[in-house]
Structure 1
Amino acid sequence: MKFKFEDLIIWQKAMDIGEDMNTLSRSFPKRELYNLSSQLRRASDSIALNISEGSILQSGAEYRKFLGYAIRSNAEVVTCLHKSKRRNYISEDDFLKYYKNCFDLMNMTIAFRNRIKI
């Protein structure tokens, strides 16, 4: 038994990004605990949450809306990564690795959303 969204590559990649951001945020200064660290974790978790929520008992239009939320959460993660780099919490190499993962997921999610009929 499993839910249909568990087979989606975009959901699997979103789950990976959520775990990566959770691990990454642990290295941030304590003063960021309720600011950037929390925002990064919540935004990254929101990607997979919206992909899964939209896939269950939704019309095509509703599913597309939830995928739009996932796309916007992904953009929020990218902004948090930029903030993290500017504040010297992450290296350029880590930034580029996570940025690429987000960029790839964004494009995959947009392509997937475009295939859903309204």
Structure 2
Amino acid sequence: MHSPLMRLVSPGLWREPVHALAAEAVLDRIPSGARVAASNSLAPHLTARADVSLLGILPVDAVASEYVVADTSLAAQWPVGGDSLRELLAEAAGSGYRVVAEEDGITLLSRDDLGRLDVSDGGR
């Protein structure tokens, strides 16, 4: 007979969940210092290195975000979840953002005009 405590030494218990690994991979694509509109579940992972606003509080274009990232796999989040996040992502895609990454319900969009500065005059 095995004790329930034996599960604590099982390697499977200590593996990082697939969804967390997907979030990490997507968020790693956002450069430090970027302006990001993020869903509530992802925002805390970015605040140490990016200028973050919560997706759904203000329109995406009102905060001039360079990136938009949302976890649509969670139906209930504040201020918006699941279906509402998908609608916000669609609106962003229709107003100059493009999908950069999608993994396990996590979608990252970036502004179409990022990286298109004229470098011949120093990027100004």
TM-score, structure 1 normalization: 0.30
TM-score normalised to structure 2 length = 0.29
Higher helix share: 1
Higher strand share: 2
More contact order relative to length (CA 8 Å, sep ≥ 6): 1
